[in-house]
Structures are given as C-alpha cells and as structure tokens.
Amino acid sequence: MQVTVSLPKAFSVRDHHEFDAHSHLVARLNPDLRVKAIAQGIHVHGGPTVYWGIVHHVNHQPDSETIKTALTEAGFDTNHGGARYDASF
C-alpha cells in the first residue's frame, strides 16, 4: 500500500517529552522525515495549553507561512493572545 501525504503536518501533545516518541515513530516510517517542536498554545476548541510540533521532510524545511498554515489546519488557535510559534530551523 502506498500513501501520499502533504508535508508539513502539525500535531499537538500534552507533554513536550512526547516529541521523542513521535520522532522515533516517524523515523521508523521514513528516515527522511523529521519532527520538530514548534509552538505552544491552545486548540481552537479550547482546553489547556499544549505543545505543537510539525513533521517535515529533511530536505524541505518549511518557511514561517507554511508552518502557520500547517498549525492552523491542525487546530492551533492563532488568534489566542498566548499563542506563539517558532519558525526557525
């Protein structure tokens, strides 16, 4: 089975230590993929502040606009005053 996925994809976790597990899983699926912790903020439906990460291809590091789009698609509340993300690689 072959699957096509558009990268980067964003996701959230409650604890920043969970990024290690996600990173190992993604690397086993495809060694050319990387996970990076990129933001802290809430989901558009509310709840506590969580950590947000993105999955990207090692040779295609996303720019800040692409990161913001991926976070928005994943449900990151960009309009909340405490929301912040780091677009540096």
Domain that holds residue 49: 9-82
82/24: higher pLDDT:
24
Which residues are CB-contacts of 19 (< 8 A; sequence separation ≥ 6)?
Answer: 13, 35, 37, 51, 53
The number of distinct structural domains making up the chain is 1
Domain contains 76: yes
Q: Would 26 be classed as within a structural domain?
A: yes
pLDDT digits (tens, 9 = 90+) for 28-72: 999 999 999 999 999 999 899 999 999 999 999 899 899 989 999
Q: Is residue 4 part of a domain?
A: no
Using CA atoms, how far apart are residues 18 and 26, in angstroms rounded to an integer?
Answer: 13
Residue 1 belongs to a domain: no
